[in-house]
Amino acid sequence: MNKRIFRYMGLLILLTVVVFAALWGTILTSQFGTQMKEGLQTLRVSVIDPSGTVLFDNMADPETMESHLNRPEVAAALQTGRGEDERLSDTLDKKTYYYAMRLEGGNVLRLALTTDSLAVLLFRFIPVVLLCLILAACLSFVVARRLTRRLVAPINNLDLDAPDLSGYDELLPLLEKIETQKKELSLQLAEIESRAATITAITGNMREGLLLLNREGRVLLANDSALRILGVRDAVRKHLIELCRDVAFLERASACLAGEKGETSLQLDGRFYSVFFNPVLDGGDLDGVVVLFIDVTERYASERQRKEFSANVSHELKTPLTAIAALSELIANGTAKDADVRPFAGKIQKQARRLIDMIEDIIRLSEFDEEGVPREFTRFNLYTAAEAVIDSLGEKAAERSVTVKLLGDPHLSVTANLRMTDELMYNLVDNAIKYNQEGGSVTVELSEDAQAVRLCVRDTGIGISEEHLDRIFERFYRVDKSRSKKTGGTGLGLSIVKHVAELHGGHVVVESQEGKGTSFTCLFKKA
Q: In whole angstroms, give the CA distance from residue 24 to residue 69.
A: 43
Burial (0-12, 13-18, 19+ Cβ within 10 Å), 267: exposed
- Whichever of 448 and 480 has its CB closer to ligand ADP, that residue is 480
The distance of closest approach from Cβ of residue 445 to ligand ADP in the complex, given in angstroms and rounded to an integer, is: 15
- Whichever of 291 and 442 has its CB closer to ligand ADP, that residue is 442
The distance of closest approach from Cβ of residue 492 to ligand ADP in the complex, given in angstroms and rounded to an integer, is: 6
The distance of closest approach from Cβ of residue 430 to ligand ADP in the complex, given in angstroms and rounded to an integer, is: 8
Assign residue 198 a region (left: φ > 0; alpha: ψ between -120 and 50; beta: otherwise). alpha
Which range in 106-114, 206-214, 362-370, 492-500 contacts ligand ADP by CB under 6 A?
Answer: 492-500
Residue 262 three-state SS: strand
The torsion angle over the Cα atoms of residues 15, 18, 21 and 27, rounded to 10 degrees, is: -90
- Tell me which of 382, 491, 506, 522 binds ligand ADP, using CB under 6 A: 491
- Whichever of 235 and 494 has its CB closer to ligand ADP, that residue is 494
- Whichever of 4 and 478 has its CB closer to ligand ADP, that residue is 478
DSSP single-letter state for residue 159:
-
Give which of 398, 452, 393 is closest to 428, Cα–Cα.
Answer: 393
User: By CB under 6 A, how many residues form the interface with ligand ADP?
Assistant: 23
- Whichever of 74 and 433 has its CB closer to ligand ADP, that residue is 433
- Whichever of 304 and 481 has its CB closer to ligand ADP, that residue is 481
CB atoms within 10 A of CB 7: 12
Q: In whole angstroms, give the CA distance from residue 216 to residue 148.
A: 49
Is residue 344 within 8 Å of residue 333, measured between CB atoms? Answer: no
The distance of closest approach from Cβ of residue 495 to ligand ADP in the complex, given in angstroms and rounded to an integer, is: 6
Is residue 484 within 8 Å of residue 495, measured between CB atoms? Answer: no
Per-position b or e across 501-525, b if 16+ CB within 10 A of its CB: bebbebebebebeeeebbbbbbbbe
- Whichever of 435 and 524 has its CB closer to ligand ADP, that residue is 435
Is residue 421 within 8 Å of residue 379, measured between CB atoms? Answer: no
Instruction: List the Cα angle 466/490/505 in 5-degree steps.
Output: 65
CB atoms within 10 A of CB 22: 12
Q: Convert residues 417-456 into a mask of x (bound to ligand ADP by CB under 6 A) and - (unbound).
A: ----------x---xx--x---------------------
Which range in 121-129, 236-244, 391-399, 458-466 contacts ligand ADP by CB under 6 A?
Answer: 458-466
The distance of closest approach from Cβ of residue 347 to ligand ADP in the complex, given in angstroms and rounded to an integer, is: 19
Is residue 407 within 8 Å of residue 444, measured between CB atoms? Answer: yes
518 binds ligand ADP (CB under 6 A): yes
Q: For residue 525, report the phi and psi dihedrals to the nearest 5 degrees.
A: -70, 140
The distance of closest approach from Cβ of residue 459 to ligand ADP in the complex, given in angstroms and rounded to an integer, is: 5
The distance of closest approach from Cβ of residue 420 to ligand ADP in the complex, given in angstroms and rounded to an integer, is: 15
- Whichever of 278 and 519 has its CB closer to ligand ADP, that residue is 519
CB atoms within 10 A of CB 481: 12
Is residue 254 within 8 Å of residue 245, measured between CB atoms? Answer: no
- Tell me which of 57, 73, 316, 459 binds ligand ADP, using CB under 6 A: 459
- Whichever of 73 and 459 has its CB closer to ligand ADP, that residue is 459
Burial (0-12, 13-18, 19+ Cβ within 10 Å), 462: buried
- Whichever of 492 and 500 has its CB closer to ligand ADP, that residue is 492
Binding residues among 460-489 for ligand ADP as defined by CB under 6 A:
461-464, 472, 477-480, 484, 489
The distance of closest approach from Cβ of residue 429 to ligand ADP in the complex, given in angstroms and rounded to an integer, is: 9
**What is the SS3 string spanning 279-336?**
EEEECCEEEEEEEEEEECHHHHHHHHHHHHHHHHHHHHHHHHHHHHHHHHHHHHCCCC
Q: In whole angstroms, give the CA distance from residue 527 to residue 524.
A: 9
Instruction: List the Cα angle 461/472/498 in 5-degree steps.
Output: 105
The distance of closest approach from Cβ of residue 369 to ligand ADP in the complex, given in angstroms and rounded to an integer, is: 17
- Whichever of 157 and 482 has its CB closer to ligand ADP, that residue is 482
The distance of closest approach from Cβ of residue 481 to ligand ADP in the complex, given in angstroms and rounded to an integer, is: 8
- Whichever of 46 and 490 has its CB closer to ligand ADP, that residue is 490
The distance of closest approach from Cβ of residue 499 to ligand ADP in the complex, given in angstroms and rounded to an integer, is: 11
**Counts of helices then strands in the chain (DSSP H, E):** 15, 17
Instruction: List the Cα angle 6/8/9 in 5-degree steps.
Output: 65
- Whichever of 89 and 513 has its CB closer to ligand ADP, that residue is 513
The distance of closest approach from Cβ of residue 277 to ligand ADP in the complex, given in angstroms and rounded to an integer, is: 44
The distance of closest approach from Cβ of residue 476 to ligand ADP in the complex, given in angstroms and rounded to an integer, is: 8
Is residue 208 within 8 Å of residue 293, measured between CB atoms? Answer: yes
Q: Which residues bind ligand ADP (CB under 6 A)?
A: 427, 431-432, 435, 459, 461-464, 472, 477-480, 484, 489-495, 518
